[in-house]
Amino acid sequence: MNRIIIKAQDGTTRISRHIYGHFSEHLGRCIYGGYWVGNDPEAAAVIPNIRGIRNDVIAALRRINIPNLRWPGGCFADEYHWKDGIGPMEERPRMINTHWGGVTEDNSFGTHEFLDLCELLDCEPYICGNVGSGSVQELSQWVEYCNFDGVSPMADLRRKNGQAGPWGVHFWGIGNESWGCGGNMTAEFYADNYRRYAVYARDYGNSKLYKIACGPSGSDYDWTRVLMEKTQGCGGPPLLNGLSLHYYTVPGEWSCKGSATEFNEAQWYVTMRKAYVTDELIRKHGAIMDEYDPNHRVGLVMDEWGTWYDVEPGTNPGFLYQQNSLRDALVAGIHFNIFNNHAERLFMANIAQTINVLQSVILTEGAKMILTPTYHAFDMYKVHQDAVKLPVYVESETVNRGSEMPLISASASRDERNKLHLSLTNIDSGSEQELRVELRGLDLSPSVKISGTVIGSEHIQDCNTFDDDAKVGIKNFTGTSLDGAALWVSLPPHSLVTLELG
Ligand code: AHR
């Protein structure tokens, strides 16, 4: 039997809206063609845009309340020199994007364009600095350029380039994957460098920086320990605000990850099992962080997560372009439930990546744009942003495919209008699951208003395409009934459901 108990009056922790964040890199067609057509007069003539940024993309991302956007990488961040991306377009140098396909980067999308995009999206920028091939001075000056309001070389340069006031960028990453593409460093070497870079990334005026150190890859618990150990503040606050974590859901081996759309039931379950690993990672890294930071002053920032498959046949292998199916929506739902349930430690998370790369929420083809099943999962779960997490106890039927895993995952919160939201995933590839929900502290009289939405589709491989863009979407859900003190939910096979009560 499947059973959930929710303590409807017990929540104390707020679910940070930032765990519904995004990541967009100079990679393939994410920035160029995805957001930005400002460097392509032919595209700009047929794709409606504002100052070079696509209107359709802005509108779609605003609908899901995108809270923050991480940029410019990724691996790209550690070879990016921000001064190449400011000033008159025709004077900006070109460079090679060595990580991603060896293509020419024309630097037409730089700091001003990114911060303009964030303003249009009404989201917070999260800039990742270059530690791998940059310098302390370079990062220090980038912060000064963005955030200083007085007279200084960088603030004056910003004004000369058309931006009078500072942007006040709050979130700064000090390097990306410094254990790999960001410099191949040891934890000890990086931690020392973090300390050095962080000193010169200054707070100006009221812009107090939130500094995010490069954290571990997957289950590298030693990295977390070294970083936490070496960034203690000698009695004062810790020297970092956030520690990042990267983990990708890869159904196969890195050399043969599997297709995004052509997969069987066994691969479906492998993918789900690997998505569930995120819970263990957050729990175990969190436990190490607790030893050094029992009061949770340092946030865990899972600033890269998502599925990673083989690229779509015929596309540039360096562009990481993959389709997105109902399977991805389930992976997203599982992550969101895990994230909500770890709200005490998890401060931010960023899907990799927003457009045309890996587990995208948007795919574009010239002037056309489609929303993926993952987009709809973000849309469904936006009700949890900044809501109060409610304790949820889940007893689920399991499936055993290589190892045992629960069929159902869940999370719940109460929003400022006092509405309770319960989100559920059912990974059963073939059967409906009946679920009994006990709501402790909530009177389930027949007059209580219950509504719901569902994301599902006939086949687990179903996708939205440029010919059929509405195969997988959000529909109204009517599979609930009341039985005395309990609420019964009939969860369709391979589906996500969110209920609103109150
Ligand atoms: O998201 C693609 C790449 O994955 C990022 O650039 C890097 O940080 C990670 O390895």
**Which CATH number fits the domain that encloses residue 341?**
3.20.20.80
Q: Specify whether the CB–CB gap between 312 and 322 falls below 8 A.
A: yes
Q: For this structure, is 177 an active site residue?
A: yes
Task: Indicate whether 456 belongs to any domain.
Answer: no
The distance of Cα 220 from the centroid of its chain, to the nearest Å, equals 20
| pTM, rounded to two decimals | 0.97
Calculate the average pLDDT of the chain: 97
At 348, list the tokens.
């931010």
Task: Indicate whether 278 belongs to any domain.
Answer: yes
Residue 215 CB–ligand 1 contact under 6 Å = no
Which residue among 246, 247, 301, 354 has the greatest number of ligand 1 atoms within 8 angstroms of its CB, and so is best to mutate? 246
pLDDT in tens, 305-328: 999 999 999 999 999 999 999 999
How far is the centre of ligand 1, averaged over its atoms, from the C-alpha of 279 (Å)?
Answer: 21
User: Annotated catalytic residue: which of 144, 262, 304, 365?
Assistant: 304
Nearest CA to ligand 1 atom 8: 74
Amino acid code (one letter) for 312? E
Task: Indicate whether 154 belongs to any domain.
Answer: yes
Task: Indicate whether 281 belongs to any domain.
Answer: yes
Task: Indicate whether 267 belongs to any domain.
Answer: yes
pLDDT at 179: 98
pLDDT at 234: 82
Closest CA to 382 of 61, 39, 4: 61
Task: Indicate whether 464 belongs to any domain.
Answer: no
Q: For this structure, is 265 an active site residue?
A: no
pLDDT in tens, 185-237: 999 999 999 999 999 999 998 889 999 999 999 999 999 999 999 999 888 88
Nearest CA to ligand 1 atom 3: 74
Pairing state between β 450-455 and 495-501: antiparallel
Residue 78 CB–ligand 1 contact under 6 Å = no
How far is the centre of ligand 1, averaged over its atoms, from the C-alpha of 482 (Å)?
Answer: 46
93 DSSP assignment: P
Task: Indicate whether 13 belongs to any domain.
Answer: yes
Task: Indicate whether 433 belongs to any domain.
Answer: no
Diameter of the chain measured on Cα atoms = 71
pLDDT in tens, 265-297: 999 999 999 999 999 999 999 999 999 999 999
Domain that holds residue 212: 2-17+136-390
pLDDT at 81: 98
More confident residue, 445 or 492: 492
Number of domain units in the chain:
1
Which residue among 22, 25, 78, 319 has the greatest number of ligand 1 atoms within 8 angstroms of its CB, and so is best to mutate? 25
- Ligand 1 nearest-atom number relative to CA 75: 6
